[in-house]
């Protein structure tokens, strides 16, 4: 019998309307069990634990990723799989962060939530929760877990966590993995794409990490971006990493002041990573002069990474106190299937 731990962090799935303000607020985990009697019908051992108090995922912080990683690591041997209930707003950040923090994960960690609270009649939460539990418990004929990575399950799709992005503030199909196919689709059967699933290196032991450094910032390029604004960013105390969200295949305006600032940041040991504002596709800085100038200024390629994947990977690598050159080297390698190099 599979044993599953459900970790409730907060989010719409477990919220209900405050009768006075009409705003959605978190409710107690005990309600979750009461409102999903189907949980009792699984032939699995299911345990629950929760953040106390639960948080709206807009309040998510690296310290909570550490808390989650610890909760999973502390009882890693006791369970066959983990289901994390999480608000949708920052779910893709948490999934990405955990994918790096839980190195050589040998069990499923399935993150899910919902767009409508589980108490609502038309909720998408039950479907998401029940299928996530099934995926977390699924094993092959040899009794090995089918999924050995951090995933997001949402509206019939299982996606690699560090490849997903929230794309819809309203519809039930809230997440997409634009640059990597879905790992499974849930219909009458759950159909896994076995050849797409991430496998830790053979014989590698599970190794949790608990250090993140958030001295990073995202700088989105747009027509009319002012020099003094970029200067202000560059002067931020303690800055260690900049994620540049550029145009198309990694292009930025050809302003000498911009290249000069980037060159100086790079020389000062700040890691500069280029990702595209497009939801699909990859960065190729040598394609146009507008990208090449960035490469020459020391900006490194973020390939087809999501914003969530890049920010959390930078925090993870910087958190381990690696020198800038080593951070750059590792940013250009896939650590948990987050980029296609």
Q: Which of 12, 94, 112, 148 is catalytic?
A: 12
Instruction: Kindly tell me which of 107 and 157 has the beta carbon lying closer to ligand ASP.
Output: 157
Residue-by-residue DSSP string for 163-221: G-EE--SSSS--EE-TTS--SEEESSSEEE-GGGS--PPTTPPPEE-------EEEEE-
Beta bridge partners of 110: 83, 151
Q: Is 125 in the site for ligand ASP (CB under 6 A)?
A: no
Q: Is 56 in the site for ligand ASP (CB under 6 A)?
A: yes
For ligand ASP, the binding residue among 2, 27, 46, 57 (CB under 6 A) is: 57
Tokens 């608990």 locate to: 210
Q: Is 296 in the site for ligand ASP (CB under 6 A)?
A: no
Instruction: Kindly tell me which of 120 and 330 has the beta carbon lying closer to ligand ASP.
Output: 120
Q: Is 134 in the site for ligand ASP (CB under 6 A)?
A: no
**Spatial separation of the C-alpha atoms in residues 259 and 72, rounded to whole Å:** 43
Instruction: Kindly tell me which of 132 and 301 has the beta carbon lying closer to ligand ASP.
Output: 132
Please answer whether residues 160 and 151 qualify as being in contact, where contact means their C-beta atoms are separated by less than 8 angstroms.
yes
12 among known catalytic residues: yes
Torsion of CA 79, 159, 184, 169, to 10 degrees: 110
Instruction: Kindly tell me which of 18 and 58 has the beta carbon lying closer to ligand ASP.
Output: 58
Q: Is 80 in the site for ligand ASP (CB under 6 A)?
A: no
Please answer whether residues 213 and 202 qualify as being in contact, where contact means their C-beta atoms are separated by less than 8 angstroms.
no
Sites for ligand ASP among residues 97-116 (CB under 6 A): 113, 115
For ligand ASP, the binding residue among 62, 81, 87, 145 (CB under 6 A) is: 87
**Spatial separation of the C-alpha atoms in residues 151 and 109, rounded to whole Å:** 6
Q: Is 18 in the site for ligand ASP (CB under 6 A)?
A: no
Contact residues: ligand ASP, CB under 6 A = 10-12, 56-58, 87-89, 113, 115
């Amino acid at each position: 019998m599979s044993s599953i731990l459900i970790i409730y962090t907060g989010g719409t799935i477990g919220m209900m309307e405050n009768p006075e303000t009409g705003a959605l607020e978190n409710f107690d985990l005990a309600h979750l069990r009461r409102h999903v009697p189907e949980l009792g019908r699984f032939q699995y051992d299911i345990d629950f634990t929760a953040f106390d108090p639960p948080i709206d995922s807009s309040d998510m912080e690296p310290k909570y990723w550490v808390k989650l990683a610890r909760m999973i690591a502390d009882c890693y041997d006791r369970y066959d799989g983990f289901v994390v209930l999480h608000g949708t707003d920052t779910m893709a950040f948490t999934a990405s962060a955990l994918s790096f923090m839980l190195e050589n994960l040998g069990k499923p960690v399935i993150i899910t939530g919902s767009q409508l609270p589980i108490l609502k009649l038309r909720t998408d939460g039950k479907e998401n929760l029940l299928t996530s539990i099934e995926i977390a418990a699924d094993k092959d004929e040899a009794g090995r877990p089918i999924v050995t990575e951090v995933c997001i399950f949402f509206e019939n799709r299982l996606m690699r966590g560090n490849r997903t992005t929230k794309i819809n503030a309203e519809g039930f199909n809230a997440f997409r993995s634009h640059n990597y196919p879905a790992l499974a689709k849930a219909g009458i059967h759950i159909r896994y794409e076995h050849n797409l699933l991430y496998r830790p290196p053979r014989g590698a032991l599970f190794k949790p990490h608990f250090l993140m450094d958030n001295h990073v910032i995202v700088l989105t390029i747009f027509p009319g971006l002012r020099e003094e604004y970029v200067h202000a960013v560059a002067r931020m105390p303690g800055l260690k990493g900049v994620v540049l969200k550029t145009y198309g295949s990694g292009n930025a305006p050809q302003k000498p002041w911009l290249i000069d600032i980037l060159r100086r940041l790079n020389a000062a040991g700040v890691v500069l990573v280029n990702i595209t504002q497009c939801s699909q596709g990859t960065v190729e800085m040598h394609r146009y002069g507008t990208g090449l100038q960035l490469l020459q200024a020391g900006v490194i390629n973020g390939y087809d990474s999501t914003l969530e994947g890049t920010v959390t990977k930078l925090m993870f690598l910087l958190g381990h106190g690696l020198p800038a050159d080593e951070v750059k080297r590792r940013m250009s390698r896939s650590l948990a299937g987050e980029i296609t190099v």
